[in-house]
């Protein structure tokens, strides 16, 4: 049981303790959490909203429960809050490229999690993903079919990878994929710092009809450890409105199709 000295906790620490409480007890009411942590109901509701947005919990009537009994890595929750506005912009553009009834592949990133939250507005869609937070966000929705690929749970990241995941991707086919990255250089070479994910991302590229890289403006004009795609051979880059016009023009001149909010431009 958590000690009753919680009023001085930082929001980050309090939310981690809320996750631990829910993991231990299965479900708690807002009133219980208010009493437990010595803060207002408004503060607890704000905490629960942030945790729900991250895919860590499911809101219940008057309280919350852990999402599938999985407590996601808290560092991932912090990444979700970083440049959240830009990720929401990217998500709106991405969802505008999806038609109801299509099969959508989402890799595991905070940007594709934002797409998952937006994709709930479509009348009917099937989402294939390696991401536990994405699956949790879409869990229980009658109009969204979720296929969570099996595999090994990666250390320090709430997603699945490895030979089992790769085999599943090889036999599946989809209409569109949105894939995140760590860097896009001026010629459209896309790279990642995760050696573990390079083969998986390459297989995902070949499993769909249309492929888009989703990357906020801080990823442009940069390089990472391993290249896994060439945007000149993909269907486009989706980025946010803060992207440098010069960087975007250089990409276009290299043959890359660029999508930015509030309207798609290519």
DSSP string, 97-166: T--TT-EEEE-SSHHHHHHHHHHTTSSSEEEEESBHHHHHHHTT-TTEEEEE---EEPTTSSBEESHHHH
Looking at 3.40.630.30, 1.10.10.10, 3.90.1200.10, 1.10.3330.10, the CATH number of the domain 6-71 comes to: 1.10.10.10
Q: What is the pLDDT of residues 26-76, one digit of tens each?
A: 778 899 999 999 999 999 999 998 888 877 787 777 888 776 544 455 456
Question: 167: exposed, middle or buried (C-beta count within 10 Å: 0-12, 13-18, 19+)?
Answer: middle
Average pLDDT of the segment spanning 187-202: 89
What length is written for the chain? 266
Separation between Cα atoms, residue 211 and residue 233, nearest integer Å: 9
pLDDT digits (tens, 9 = 90+) for 198-230: 888 888 878 899 999 999 999 999 999 999 999
Q: Which CATH architecture has domain 79-259?
A: 3-Layer(aba) Sandwich (3.40)
List where CATH 1.10.10.10 sits in the chain: 6-71
């Amino acid at each position: 049981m958590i000690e009753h000295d919680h009023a001085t906790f930082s929001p980050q620490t309090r939310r981690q303790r809320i996750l631990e409480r829910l993991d231990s007890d299965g479900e708690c009411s807002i009133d219980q959490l208010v009493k437990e942590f010595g803060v207002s109901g408004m503060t607890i509701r704000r905490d629960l909203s942030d945790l729900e947005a991250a895919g860590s919990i499911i809101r219940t009537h008057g309280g919350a429960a852990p999402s599938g009994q999985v407590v996601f890595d808290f560092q991932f929750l912090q990444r979700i809050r970083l440049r959240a506005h830009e990720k929401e912009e990217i998500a709106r553009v991405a969802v505008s490229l999806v038609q109801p009834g299509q099969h959508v592949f989402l890799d595991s990133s905070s940007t594709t999690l934002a797409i998952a939250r937006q994709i709930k507005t479509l009348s009917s869609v099937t989402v294939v993903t390696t991401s536990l937070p994405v699956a949790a966000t879409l869990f229980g929705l009658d109009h969204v079919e979720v296929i969570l690929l099996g595999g090994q749970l990666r250390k320090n990241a709430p997603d699945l990878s490895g030979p089992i995941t790769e085999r599943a991707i090889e036999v599946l086919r989809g209409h569109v994929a949105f894939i995140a990255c760590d860097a896009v250089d001026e010629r459209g070479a896309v790279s990642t710092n995760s050696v573990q994910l390079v083969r998986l991302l390459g297989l995902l590229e070949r499993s769909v009809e249309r492929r888009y890289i989703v990357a906020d403006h801080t990823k442009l004009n940069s390089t990472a450890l391993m290249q896994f795609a060439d945007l000149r051979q993909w269907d486009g880059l989706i980025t946010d409105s803060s992207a440098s016009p010069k960087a975007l023009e250089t990409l276009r001149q290299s043959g890359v199709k660029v999508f930015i909010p509030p309207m798609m431009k290519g």
